[in-house]
């Protein structure tokens, strides 16, 4: 009888441990729901939660755009979201997904800006990097698929070695740490994660030539699978400098051969603007543009 009781007790304890472990994993599981990591910052009447908070709809009309932000800031890591952009005639609209230090004078920022288009034209995504208050590093890529037909994953990897902007795991931009060449790199200020949907028809589509058609409003963009992995701030000071963080690992310090080949393919076939080659703005090529990947 004692032996049977011991077996039963051990099995019960094991079952309880398994249940508790599964529960912990479920709590920490990624992707997160919207309200786990984010708060609405602008026009809560224009953001709707869908699917129990696992997705959101952003709305732009003549009354307002909208926006949301992460509850925490992060110093290094990776953020990603799946986004389905405005279909049809979206000229003059900008859907943005970015990181920002929220500092006025010495701003750090990493931008995805999806620039609306007239029907039938390719969707462009503009990336920009601000480091120590210096920006004006715009690059534009025409997406090679219809980003309004389905969700696609957009991510920013940020470590001590580089910043990598990716679309469906295809790198479209790499900004290397070239501090040795006197080029600023964002590494001191934590950044929050933001998204906005707004009207910018003075510049967004063909340099402002194409204006927004409010007869097509309201405009909708959709987000889901919110995933933030990084060192939260405030938090342990040792986190950001910890070389054992997965995003600091050797396989994330530079593009692997497959990723590098995809990156070159994007640059050769889909890049439509690069500040590095704009001699009217930069008669002398900026030093970070000479570093390759």
Question: How confident is the model over 179-238, as pLDDT tens digits?
Answer: 988 999 999 999 999 999 998 777 656 666 678 889 999 999 999 999 999 999 988 889
Q: Per the structure block, which two tokens stand in for 156?
A: 């920013």
pLDDT at residue number 16: 43
How far is it, in rounded angstroms, from Cα 174 to Cα 197? Answer: 25
How far is it, in rounded angstroms, from Cα 156 to Cα 76? Answer: 10
109 annotated active-site: yes
Share of the chain above pLDDT 90, in %: 73
pLDDT at residue number 103: 84
Question: Do β-strands 124-130 and 93-100 pair in parallel, antiparallel, or remain unpaired?
Answer: unpaired
pLDDT tens per residue, the chain (293 residues)? 544 444 444 544 444 444 444 333 333 456 778 999 999 999 999 999 999 999 999 999 999 999 999 999 999 999 999 999 999 999 889 999 999 998 877 999 999 999 988 877 889 999 999 999 999 999 999 999 999 999 999 999 999 999 999 999 999 999 999 998 899 999 999 999 999 999 877 765 666 667 888 999 999 999 999 999 999 998 888 999 999 999 999 999 999 999 999 999 999 999 999 999 999 999 999 988 986 65
197, 95 Cβ separation under 8 angstroms: yes
Q: Per the structure block, which two tokens stand in for 216?
A: 């097509």
Using alpha carbons, select from 106, 40, 34, 105 the residue that is nearest to residue 69.
40
Domains of the chain: residue spans and CATH:
38-290 (2.60.120.200)
Q: Rounded to two decimals, what is the model's pTM?
A: 0.87
pLDDT at residue number 1: 52
73, 190 Cβ separation under 8 angstroms: yes
Instruction: Out of 109, 199, 210, 288, pick the active-site residue.
Output: 109
- The burial of 33, by beta-carbon neighbours within 10 Å (0-12 exposed, 13-18 middle, 19 or more buried), is given as middle
Using alpha carbons, select from 167, 189, 208, 194 the residue that is nearest to residue 99.
194
Quote the radius of gyration of the chain (alpha carbons, Å).
Answer: 22
How far is it, in rounded angstroms, from Cα 286 to Cα 49? Answer: 43
pLDDT at residue number 206: 64
101, 88 Cβ separation under 8 angstroms: no
Residue 255 CB partners (closer than 8 Å, separation 6+): 164, 171, 174, 263, 293
Is it true that the peptide bond before 110 is cis, omega within 30 degrees of 0? no
Instruction: Out of 113, 199, 210, 288, pick the active-site residue.
Output: 113
pLDDT at residue number 117: 87
248 annotated active-site: no
């Amino acid at each position: 009888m004692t032996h049977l009781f011991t077996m039963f007790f051990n099995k019960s304890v094991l079952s309880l441990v398994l249940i508790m472990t599964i529960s912990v994993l479920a709590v920490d599981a990624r992707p997160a729901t919207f309200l786990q990591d984010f708060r609405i910052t602008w026009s809560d009447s224009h953001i709707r939660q869908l699917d129990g908070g696992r997705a959101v709809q952003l709305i732009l009309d003549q009354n307002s755009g909208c926006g949301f932000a992460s509850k925490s800031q992060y110093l290094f890591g990776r953020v990603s979201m799946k986004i389905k952009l405005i279909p049809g005639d979206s000229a003059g609209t900008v859907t943005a997904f970015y990181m920002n230090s929220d500092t006025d004078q010495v701003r750090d920022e990493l931008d995805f800006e999806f620039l609306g288009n007239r029907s039938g034209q390719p969707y462009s995504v503009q990336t920009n990097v601000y480091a120590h208050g210096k920006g004006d590093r715009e690059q534009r890529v025409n997406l090679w698929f219809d980003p309004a037909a389905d969700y696609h994953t957009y991510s920013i990897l940020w470590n001590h070695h580089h910043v990598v902007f990716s679309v469906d795991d295809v790198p479209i931009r790499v900004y290397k740490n070239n501090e040795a060449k006197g080029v600023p790199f964002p590494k001191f200020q934590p950044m929050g994660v933001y998204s906005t949907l707004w009207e910018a028809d003075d510049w967004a589509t063909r340099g402002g030539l194409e204006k927004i058609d409010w007869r097509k409003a309201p405009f909708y963009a959709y987000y889901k699978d919110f995933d933030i992995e990084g060192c939260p701030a405030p938090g342990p000071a040792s986190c950001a400098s910890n070389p054992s963080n997965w995003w600091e690992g050797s396989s994330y310090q530079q593009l692997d051969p497959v990723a590098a080949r995809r990156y070159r393919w994007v640059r050769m076939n889909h890049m439509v603007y690069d500040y590095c080659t704009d001699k009217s703005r930069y008669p002398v090529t900026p030093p970070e543009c000479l570093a390759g990947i």
